[in-house]
């Protein structure tokens, strides 16, 4: 199914409409260009730069963006390289930058990508899984990491209560000659490791948090977001907005703290102050939107300079 329902689309369009101008829209997570195509449609003078590290997503996005020829550039790179946009010839700064984090439905439903505990496929999970792509796959991590590293991954990225038990079970399985190459094998092993009453208490699929944790580790998702947020601020025009839709508390926490730091630095402020949630209607129609949270940061028109307002600030001759 080469589809993806864009989350909080009306809220993205409303944030874009509230800007004084929208000449340049940067989509850090182009995906299937769901948000971006609607932005180009609604703002006829806007130009788009869209990042995606997934070749298949870029191909579909290009088809979807075809009617807007001449108004978009697809960047085949990790969004951690956001700041480099400033080096592009003709790049006039961004009026809005959108992050719609995580994986698309396309990635989730294609078994061979290995993202889903519901479809059997190889334990890959690399978003940039092109021929010759570098980086550890989920199978590599499960084959190489020791109990401490696995525990940290499951605990820190999956907030998994049984991180240590699962990590120990995986390493024991390895010591007995067991290998993990498919998603179904990992699900089966987790079901074997965790006693049935624990699985019943977990609420949701017993492998859900482990899969999320492995995906975050394989793609260094927290590291990429960390770099990209500052990159986004560096290319943002005065008055511009950074819009982030996140799907788990780790991401949301990072975004919340970064926005707070930027405010303390005098760069701008969260606007609105509180995060936005999808409407009930949306969550009923699109299950994936249930965990979504949107935060928006607006850069001040003029950067406030602490020194400026001070009587004793040195003056230049
Ligand atoms: C949730 S989907 C975006 C869907 C899109 N907003 C739409 O409406 O069609 C997230 C996309 O971001 C991409 N992505 C995630 N992390 C990335 C990163 N660090 N660099 C570049 N692309 C990334 C994924 O490959 C995926 O296609």
In the predicted model, is pLDDT for residue 303 greater than 70?
no
Kindly indicate the confidence band of residue 107, based on its pLDDT and cuts at 50, 70 and 90: confident
CA gap 310, 258 in Å, rounded = 27
Q: What angle do CA 205, 52, 57 make, to 5 degrees?
A: 70
DSSP β-bridge partners for residue 297: 242, 270
Architecture of domain 9-105+221-299: 3-Layer(aba) Sandwich (3.40)
pLDDT tens for 259-274 read: 999 999 999 999 999 9
* Nearest atom within ligand 1 for CA of residue 32: 9
How big is the chain by its Cα radius of gyration, in Å? 21
pLDDT tens for 5-28 read: 999 999 999 999 999 999 999 999
HEC string for 167-197: HHHHHHHHHCCCCCCEHHHHHHHHHHHCCHH
For residue 30, report the distance from its CA to the centre of ligand 1, in Å.
5
Instruction: Tell me which of 3.10.110.10, 3.40.50.720, 1.10.150.170, 3.10.20.80 is the CATH number of domain 129-218.
Output: 1.10.150.170
* Nearest atom within ligand 1 for CA of residue 4: 9
For residue 32, report the distance from its CA to the centre of ligand 1, in Å.
8
DSSP β-bridge partners for residue 24: 47
Residue of minimum CA distance from atom 14 in ligand 1:
29
Residue of minimum CA distance from atom 1 in ligand 1:
104
Kindly indicate the confidence band of residue 286, based on its pLDDT and cuts at 50, 70 and 90: very high
For ligand 1, residues with CB inside 6 Å are 4, 6, 29, 31-35, 51-54, 57, 78-80, 100, 102-104, 127, 224
**Where along the chain do its domains lie?**
9-105+221-299, 129-218
Whether 87 and 234 have beta carbons less than 8 Å apart is answered as: no
């Amino acid at each position: 199914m080469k589809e993806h329902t864009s989350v909080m689309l009306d809220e993205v369009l409303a944030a874009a409409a509230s800007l004084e101008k929208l000449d340049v829209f940067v989509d850090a997570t182009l995906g299937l260009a769901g948000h971006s195509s609607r932005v180009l449609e609604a703002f006829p003078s806007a130009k788009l730069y869209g990042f995606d590290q997934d070749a298949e997503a870029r191909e579909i996005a290009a088809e979807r963006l075809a009617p807007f020829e001449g108004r978009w550039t697809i960047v085949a790179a990790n969004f951690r390289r956001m700041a480099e946009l400033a080096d592009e010839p003709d790049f006039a700064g961004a009026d809005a930058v959108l992050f719609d984090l995580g994986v698309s439905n396309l990635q989730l439903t294609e078994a061979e990508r290995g993202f889903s505990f519901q479809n059997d496929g190889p334990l890959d999970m690399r978003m940039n899984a092109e021929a010759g792509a570098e980086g550890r796959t989920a199978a590599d991590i499960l084959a190489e990491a020791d109990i401490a590293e696995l525990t940290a991954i499951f605990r820190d990225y999956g907030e998994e209560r049984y991180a240590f038990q699962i990590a120990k079970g995986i390493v024991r399985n390895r010591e007995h000659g067991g290998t993990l190459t498919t998603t179904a094998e990992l699900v089966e092993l987790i079901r074997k490791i965790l006693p049935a009453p624990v699985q019943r208490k977990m609420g949701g699929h017993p492998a859900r948090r482990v899969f999320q944790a492995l995906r975050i580790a394989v793609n260094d998702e927290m590291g990429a977001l960390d770099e990209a947020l500052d990159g986004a601020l560096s290319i943002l025009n005065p008055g511009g907005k950074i819009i982030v839709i996140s799907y788990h508390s780790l991401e949301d926490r990072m975004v919340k703290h970064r926005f707070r730091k930027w405010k303390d630095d005098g760069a701008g402020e969260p606007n609105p102050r509180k995060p936005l949630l999808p409407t009930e209607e949306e969550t009923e129609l699109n299950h994936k939107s249930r965990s979504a949270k949107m935060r928006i940061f607006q850069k001040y028109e003029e950067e406030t300079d602490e020194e400026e307002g001070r009587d004793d600030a040195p003056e230049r001759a």
